[in-house]
Amino acid sequence: VLARLVQALEIRTGDNVLVVGAASGYGSAILAHLAGSVIAVETRAQPVEKAQEILVAHGIDNAAVVKSRLVDGYADEGPYDQILVEGGVEAMPDPAKCAMMALP
């Protein structure tokens, strides 16, 4: 499923990508090889620390995992060219709110 989502995004080399729901950082690591930069958000501190350790251990320096509420994204590093929501959601996000995440 992740491969299809990544393929559908058609990420370009210079894209700035937001990952909502970083978990272990696996998806962020994949995207880091395709995009210019990746910011991933996760709500719990322990997975954030573990994912960041994994990225560093693999020499991935164009991706970071930060602690944030998933619905808030991480506007500080925007605008984003692409936004990947990893995991299931109860309802589709409001397109206006997603657009706001993409604004500086």
Mean of all residue pLDDT scores within the chain: 86
Q: Indicate if the pLDDT at residue 31 is higher than 50.
A: yes
**Stretch 75-99: mean pLDDT, rounded?**
73
| Residue percentage of the chain with pLDDT more than 90 | 57
pLDDT in tens, 50-76: 999 999 999 999 999 999 888 888 888
pLDDT at residue number 103: 47
What percentage of the chain exceeds 70 in pLDDT? 83
pLDDT score for 78:
85
Task: State yes or no: pLDDT of 25 exceeds 80.
Answer: yes
Residue 91's pLDDT band (cuts 50, 70, 90): low
- Residue 102: phi and psi, rounded to 5, are -85, -10
Tokens of 95: 């397109």
Across the chain, the runs of DSSP E, i.e. the strands, are 16-20, 37-42, 63-67, 82-85
What predicted TM-score, i.e. pTM, was given to this entire model? 0.83
Phi-psi region of 25 (alpha: psi -120 to 50; beta: other; left: phi over 0): left
